[in-house]
């Protein structure tokens, strides 16, 4: 597991009371009831504080944020943009 | 937009209004006197359509002298709210009391806590500023809909700032004092008069959790919770309620800047939101609903997803206190 995924997984399991084994990479965090809109806000804040990623409004979408896999991909892409 | 299908959701407007009134009033009379064993009802009159229709139905069911209307303005209330609430009461012949809740809210620190929450994202916010929180439209994009703070300085300069979770939660928690203080006063008068407290949510609000738990969500009976907002307006017309109230745009009347229910919660005009919820309740597909609403299939899909998301997120609002042992609940 890469370090980004590990940090995201730890944040989600600890903050939203989901068992680590239940947090599959492709599961929808909103439709499964793990997070609601306040949870999305908390994830945005976590991305900013932990990874220094400020997510613009038009990128606050399910395809970037709704699953652990999507989050890992989004953070990796954002970090690549910063380092490029 | 396409022209909405003529037959779609016709029972939202084309229903037997007299029968609906009779059904509600006879149920209400039975619930208050035989099930709850109360002598009348108390309700808050906001000058809006829902509370006015509820007051009219209660006055028909119990007699106007057994309905107490409470007018409960506070310093952020719109100027017209109290006069419109009084207009409703005068029209129906029901007694009223004015309870200005501003001093209670000040004592609780409601306004101070609101300002402190806002200063987390807008440090200059303070005396003389006004604000509200708004959501983007549900139909325009797939983006998550997150609250934005809209503020106006005393000089008239406008600001839009994304809320952090802490600022959002603190602001909402402070603002919820308003609904909870009003409910406390409703129960005070209910206790003193041996009345029941009548809650005024319509179906849209009830279904989508648009209420404060133990605030406006608390009541002994909710006589219009099965009616779509469109139907509430239809009953208001049928009951010949004052035009000034029927013509007033739905508002939350909760934040210091004027805030529509649309921008605070539903994201669509109520008529369209009603049609989407009606279609969703009947299991219509987004394609079928698109024909009936003039929205695109994609847009309907987003509205349906939002309806389901709100139901999930607000289950807690509806939940009764949980007990460890089943069978202990007392049936009222």
DSSP B221: B
Residue appearing with tokens 């605070």: B264
Average pLDDT (B293-308) is: 92
Residue appearing with tokens 């002298």: B65
Q: Which helix (H) or strand (E) holds B206?
A: helix B203-207
For A10-30, how does the pLDDT look when each residue is reduced to its tens digit (9 = 90+)? 999 999 999 989 999 999 999
User: What are the E-state strand segments in chain B?
Assistant: 41-44, 67-71, 96-98, 130-134, 148-152, 158-162, 196-197
How does residue B3 score in pLDDT terms, banded at 50, 70 and 90?
very low
For A33-83, how does the pLDDT look when each residue is reduced to its tens digit (9 = 90+)? 899 989 999 999 999 999 999 999 999 999 999 999 999 999 999 988 877
Among B144, B145, B165, B311, the residue to mutate for chain A (most A Cβ within 10 A): B144
Q: Phi then psi for B221, rounded to 5 degrees?
A: -155, 150
The pLDDT value given to residue B244: 96
In this predicted structure, the answer to whether residue B125 has a pLDDT above a threshold of 60 is yes
Domain B10-107+169-315 CATH class label: alpha beta
Geometric angle at alpha carbon B223, from B221 and B227, rounded to 5°: 140
In this predicted structure, the answer to whether residue B169 has a pLDDT above a threshold of 70 is yes
In this predicted structure, the answer to whether residue B266 has a pLDDT above a threshold of 80 is no
Q: Which domain holds residue A33?
A: 3-83
Q: Which chain A residues are Cβ-neighbours of B164 within 8 angstroms?
A: 41, 45
Total domains, chain A = 1
The pLDDT value given to residue A79: 87
Q: Could you give the C-alpha distances from A40 to A22, B17, B242, in angstroms and in order? A: 19, 43, 43
How does residue B12 score in pLDDT terms, banded at 50, 70 and 90?
confident
For B274-289, how does the pLDDT look when each residue is reduced to its tens digit (9 = 90+)? 999 999 999 999 999 9
In chain B, pLDDT over 90 holds for what percent of residues? 79
Average pLDDT (B137-156) is: 88
Average pLDDT (B5-27) is: 88
CATH number at residue A58: 1.10.1200.10
| Residue of B214, B193, B221 whose CA lies nearest to B35 | B221
Nearest-Cα residue of chain A relative to residue B166: A42
For chain B, the structural domain boundaries read 10-107+169-315
Contact B198, B189 (CB under 8 A): no
DSSP B143: S
The pLDDT value given to residue A46: 97
Nearest-Cα residue of chain B relative to residue A30: B309
Lowest mean pLDDT among B6-10, B50-54, B172-176, B317-321: B6-10
In this predicted structure, the answer to whether residue B5 has a pLDDT above a threshold of 60 is no
Minimal CA separation from A34 to chain B, in Å: 10
**Torsional class of B54: left (φ above 0), alpha (ψ -120 to 50), beta (otherwise):** alpha
Q: Which residue has the higher pLDDT, B328 or B39?
A: B39
Residues of chain B whose C-beta is under 8 A from some C-beta in A?
Answer: 141-147, 162-165, 168-169, 308-309, 312-313
Contact B126, B119 (CB under 8 A): yes
B220 is an annotated ligand-binding site residue: yes
Nearest-Cα residue of chain A relative to residue B142: A61
Minimal CA separation from B142 to chain A, in Å: 6
For B67-76, how does the pLDDT look when each residue is reduced to its tens digit (9 = 90+)? 999 999 999 9
The pLDDT value given to residue B264: 67
For B222-263, how does the pLDDT look when each residue is reduced to its tens digit (9 = 90+)? 999 999 999 999 999 999 999 999 998 888 788 888 877 777
């Amino acid at each position: 597991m890469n370090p980004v995924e590990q940090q995201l997984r730890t944040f989600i399991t600890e903050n939203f009371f989901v068992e680590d084994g239940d947090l599959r990479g492709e599961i929808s965090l909103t439709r499964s009831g793990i997070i609601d809109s306040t949870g999305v806000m908390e994830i945005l804040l976590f991305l900013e504080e932990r990874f220094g990623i400020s997510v613009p409004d038009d990128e606050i979408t399910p395809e970037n944020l709704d699953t652990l896999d999507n989050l890992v991909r989004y953070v990796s892409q954002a970090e690549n943009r910063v380092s490029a | 937009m396409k022209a909405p299908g003529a037959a779609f959701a016709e029972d939202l407007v084309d229903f037997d209004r007299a029968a609906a009134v009779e059904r509600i009033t006879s149920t209400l009379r039975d619930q208050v006197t035989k099930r709850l064993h109360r002598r009348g009802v108390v309700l808050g009159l906001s000058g809006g359509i829902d509370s006015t229709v509820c007051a009219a139905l209660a006055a028909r069911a119990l007699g106007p002298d057994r309905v107490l209307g409470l007018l409960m303005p506070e310093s952020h209330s719109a100027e017209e709210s109290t006069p419109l609430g009084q207009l409703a009461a005068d029209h129906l012949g029901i007694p009223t009391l004015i309870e200005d809740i501003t001093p209670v809210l000040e004592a609780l620190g409601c306004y101070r806590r609101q300002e402190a929450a806002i200063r987390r994202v807008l440090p200059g916010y303070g005396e003389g500023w006004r604000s509200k929180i708004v959501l983007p439209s549900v139909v325009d994009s797939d983006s998550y809909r997150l609250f934005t703070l809209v503020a106006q300085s005393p000089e008239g300069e406008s600001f839009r700032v994304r809320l952090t979770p802490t600022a959002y939660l603190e602001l909402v928690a402070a603002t919820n004092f308003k609904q909870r203080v009003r409910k406390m006063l409703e129960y005070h008068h209910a206790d003193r008069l041996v009345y029941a407290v009548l809650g005024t949510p319509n179906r849209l609000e009830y279904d989508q959790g648009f209420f404060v738990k133990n605030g406006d969500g608390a009541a002994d009976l909710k006589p219009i919770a099965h009616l779509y907002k469109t139907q509430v307006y239809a009953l208001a017309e049928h009951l010949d309620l004052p035009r000034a109230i029927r013509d007033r745009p739905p508002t939350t009347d909760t934040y210091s800047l004027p805030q529509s229910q649309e921008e605070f919660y539903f994201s669509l005009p109520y008529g369209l939101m009603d049609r989407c919820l009606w279609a969703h309740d009947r299991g219509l597909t987004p394609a079928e609903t698109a024909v009936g609403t003039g929205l695109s299939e994609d847009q309907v899909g987003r509205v349906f997803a939002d309806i389901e998301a709100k139901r999930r997120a607000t289950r807690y609002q509806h939940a009764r206190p949980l007990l460890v042992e089943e069978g202990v609940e007392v049936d009222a």
